[in-house]
Chain A
Amino acid sequence: MDFKLSEEHLMVERMVRDFAAKEVLPSIQEQDRAGGMAPFVLPRMAELGILGITIPVKYGGQGMDYISLGLVSEELEAVDTSLRVVISVHSGLSCLTLLQWGNEAQKEKFLQPLARGEKIACGAFTEPGAGSDFAHIQASAKKEGDSYILSGEKMWISLATSADFAVATFRTAPQAEPAYQGLSTFIVNLNSPGITRGDIHGKLGVRAGSTGWINFQEVRVPAENLLGEEGEGFKVTMSAFDNGRYTVAAGATGLIRASLEASKNYVEERLIAGKPLSEYQLIQSKIARMALDYQASRLLYLQAGWLKNQGLRNTRETSAAKWFATDASFMAASEALQIHGAYGYSDEYPVERYLRNARGAMIYEGSNEIQSLIQAGYALDKRRDKKLRCELPAYDRETWT
C-alpha cells in the first residue's frame, strides 16, 4: 500500500494552489460581499484546463486521473467554496456523467466543448419539492415524435445562470412502480426556447458563487439528447452524485485545511496574559481536532479516488467521505471562528466565510442524513451495489492521454 502522492499529483496540487492563491484569493472577500463570481474566473479555469482535468484527451480533457480531480477540489475550496462548486457541477455532475453514460456521438457533441471549457454545464436534479426524495421528482418529459417535451422546475442549481447545458433528470413514466424506474436524464441546451432561469439571492454561504432555478415550459429536446436509456435516469443521477460528492468531500477537506491554517496563524499572533493562544491546552485541543479531521477526510477522499482510478464501484466510500468531511469542515470552521473570538465574527478574517460556506455542503449532493442512511444500508447488508450498464471508466493513462 502506497500512501505517497506521485510527483505528478504534487505538481497538480501546487499548480492549482498557486492559481487560486494568486488570482482569486486577493479579491475573494470583495466577491463574497458583492455576491457573485468575478467574471474572469470561469474563463481562466477553462484556459488552464482545470474544467476538463479528469476527462481523456481525446474528448477534449486533460487526461489526469481521479485523484487529481480530488486534489484540485481540495485546493480550490481551500480558497473559496464557490471555486470548488464549479468543479462539482461542471466536471463532476456533468462531464463525468457524460463520460460514464454518454454514447460516442454525445461525447463528441457535448463532452468535447465542456471538457475544453468552451461551454459550461450544470446538473439540474433537485426540485422545489424533491431533493432527498429524488425518486419522486415532478418535472416531466413526454416523448413526441423524435423529441421530448420538458416541463417543470429545477431549484438550487449551481451555475444555473452561467451554464450553457444542463444534465437534467425528468419523469418520463408517471405511473412507473417503483417511482424511480420512471425517470430519464437528458442533456439540455439551456438556451432553448421555453427555458427561463435566475439566481437565488439571500443565501447563507457560497455568496461568491451562483445558485439558481431553471424553469422548463414545453421545452423541446431531441431524443438523441437522452443520456442513458429511458427509465435509467435514477441510476444516471446516482452515478452523477458518486462523482459530484467526491469533489464535495475533497473540497470540504480543503475547507478544514483553510480553517486550520487560519487558526494556526492566529493562535501564534494573539496574546492572552502575555502568552500566545497556541500555548493554551483548550486551544490546542481545537487545533488537534482540526488536524485529525483533515487527515481523516483526506484519506477518505483519496481512497474513493483510488477506487475510481481502478474502475471499482465507490458509492459507499464516496458517501462516507462526503458525510465525514462536510460535517468535519463545518465543525472546523466553527472552531476556527471560536478561536478567533470576536474577530472571527467579522469578515475581516476569512473564518466566518468558511463557516457560512461549509454549511451548505451538509445539505447538497445528498444531505448528510441521506449519507447516513446509505452507510447504514451497507453496514446492515440491506444495500448492495449492482453492476451498472455503464460504469465509470477506470483511469487508463495509455488511452486517456
Chain B
Amino acid sequence: MKIIVCVKQVPDTAATMTVENGVISWGDAPLIINPWDEYAVEAALNLVADHGGDVTALCLGKEEETEAIKHALAMGADAAVMVSDPALKGVDNLSASKVLAAAIEKIGDADLVLFGQQSVDTDTGLLPVQVARVLGWPSLTLVSKIENVAADDGNIQVLRSMEEGGQVVDAPLPAVMSVTKDYGEPRYPSFMGIRKASKAEYPVWSLGDLGIEAPTSAVSWPEVMEPEEKEIITEIIPGDTPEEKAQNLVEKLIAEKVL
C-alpha cells in the first residue's frame, strides 16, 4: 500500500499563547508535530507493517519549519514532501485542501491519505473531508480502528467512533481517512529513526512545481483576540462522608439550577 500522511507543525501544546496587536505569539516555545497527526502516522506505519508498502509524510508549511516532517520520519515514515510557497501564507482550509490534493496527485498512486482528526491550533477538522472532496475520493472520518483491508478487491473497512457510538464503514480505495486518538497510542521516535530523520532530504515543492495557481481564500481572520478572562470562584463542598459531600453537591447544583 502506498500511504500519504498529512502532518502539520503547531506550537507546543504546553506553550502559553498570547495575542498582541492581532498577532498570536507562543514566545520561544518550540513547534511540534500536531499531536493528532501522530495517531495518523501510527496507523499508517501499522498498515504498511501488515500489508507492505510505504509511508510518505506530506506537510504544507514554511520550509524551515521541519518539526512535523522530521517527527514523522523519526517514527518510521519512509519519505517526505514539503509544500511551501510564500503565496500560501494565511490560506484558508479550502485553499489548503486544493494544494494538498495537488501534491497528493503529484506524489501519485496513493491508496490511502491519512490525517489526524484535527489540528490543535485551528481545530477545524475540515481538511480531511475537503481533500477527499477535491480528489473525488471517499472520506472516512474519525476512524478509531481499521477492521480490514482487502488489497485485492481494493476495499477498506473501518470503525468510525462518534459520541453516539461506533459505525463500521466500507469504502473503495483510494480513500481519505482521519484518525482519532482511540486508534491507540502512537510510538515514540526511535533513536535510529531520529538519526535517519536528521539526515533525511526531501523535496520542497512550490505552487509552480505543483502546476497550480495560488488559490484564493474565501475565509480570513480579520481580528484575533484573547478570550475574555472569566472570574472563577472555587468552593469546597463540605461533608463528613463522601455520600454527604455528594448529597450537598447535588443540592447545590439544584439550587444553582445546573441540574
0/1 interface trace, chain A 4-38, chain B, CB 8 Å (1 if under): 00111011101100110000000000000000000
Task: Say yes or no: A18-B188 contact (C-beta < 8 A), given A7-B70, A10-B30, A11-B74.
Answer: yes
Q: Which of B114-122, B139-147, B191-199, B248-256 contacts A (4 or more CB under 8 A)?
A: B191-199
Within the assembled complex, what's the spacing in Å between the Cα atoms of A8 and B195?
6
| A63 engages B191 (CB within 8 Å) | yes
Number of chain A residues close to chain B: CB under 8 A: 18
| A15 engages B195 (CB within 8 Å) | no
Number of chain B residues close to chain A: CB under 8 A: 15
Within the assembled complex, what's the spacing in Å between the Cα atoms of A63 and B192?
8
Cβ of A83 under 8 Å from chain B: no
A19 proximity list for chain B (CB < 8 A): 188
| A11 engages B197 (CB within 8 Å) | yes
| B188 engages A8 (CB within 8 Å) | no
Can you name 20 A-B pairs with beta carbons within 8 Å? A6-B198, A7-B70, A7-B197, A7-B198, A8-B195, A8-B198, A10-B30, A11-B70, A11-B74, A11-B189, A11-B197, A11-B198, A12-B191, A12-B194, A14-B32, A15-B74, A19-B188, A49-B191, A62-B191, A64-B191
Q: Which residue of B lies closest to A19 (CB)?
A: B188
Chain B, range 164-215, C-beta contacts under 8 Å to A: 188-192, 194-195, 197-198
Cβ of A267 under 8 Å from chain B: no
B190 proximity list for chain A (CB < 8 A): 48-49
B192 proximity list for chain A (CB < 8 A): 49, 62-63
Within the assembled complex, what's the spacing in Å between the Cα atoms of A348 and B71?
35
Within the assembled complex, what's the spacing in Å between the Cα atoms of A321 and B197?
31
Within the assembled complex, what's the spacing in Å between the Cα atoms of A12 and B198?
11
B189 proximity list for chain A (CB < 8 A): 11, 15
Cβ of A401 under 8 Å from chain B: yes
A130 CB to closest chain B CB (Å) equals 38
Cβ of B66 under 8 Å from chain A: yes
Within the assembled complex, what's the spacing in Å between the Cα atoms of A401 and B197?
14
Interface of B is mostly: helix
Within the assembled complex, what's the spacing in Å between the Cα atoms of A318 and B116?
44
A6 proximity list for chain B (CB < 8 A): 198
Chain B: residues with CB nearer than 8 A to chain A?
A: 30, 32, 66, 70-71, 74, 188-192, 194-195, 197-198
A10 proximity list for chain B (CB < 8 A): 30
Q: Which residue of B lies closest to A261 (CB)?
A: B14
B3 CB to closest chain A CB (Å) equals 22
Within the assembled complex, what's the spacing in Å between the Cα atoms of A63 and B30?
26
Within the assembled complex, what's the spacing in Å between the Cα atoms of A401 and B199?
13
13 other A-B residue contacts (CB within 8 Å) besides A7-B70, A11-B189, A64-B194: A7-B198, A8-B194, A11-B70, A11-B71, A11-B197, A11-B198, A14-B32, A15-B74, A15-B191, A15-B194, A62-B192, A63-B195, A64-B191
0/1 interface trace, chain A 52-65, chain B, CB 8 Å (1 if under): 01000000001110
B71 CB to closest chain A CB (Å) equals 7
Within the assembled complex, what's the spacing in Å between the Cα atoms of A18 and B187?
11
Count chain A CB atoms within 10 A of each CB in B74, B188, B192, B197 and give the residue with the most. B188
Q: Which residue of A lies closest to B38 (CB)?
A: A18
| A53 engages B188 (CB within 8 Å) | no
B70 proximity list for chain A (CB < 8 A): 7, 11
A68 proximity list for chain B (CB < 8 A): 191
A49 proximity list for chain B (CB < 8 A): 190-192
A401 proximity list for chain B (CB < 8 A): 195
A63 proximity list for chain B (CB < 8 A): 191-192, 195
A73 CB to closest chain B CB (Å) equals 15
B76 CB to closest chain A CB (Å) equals 13
B198 proximity list for chain A (CB < 8 A): 6-8, 11
The 9 closest A-B pairs by CB, nearest first: A62-B191, A8-B198, A11-B194, A15-B188, A7-B198, A49-B191, A15-B189, A64-B191, A8-B194
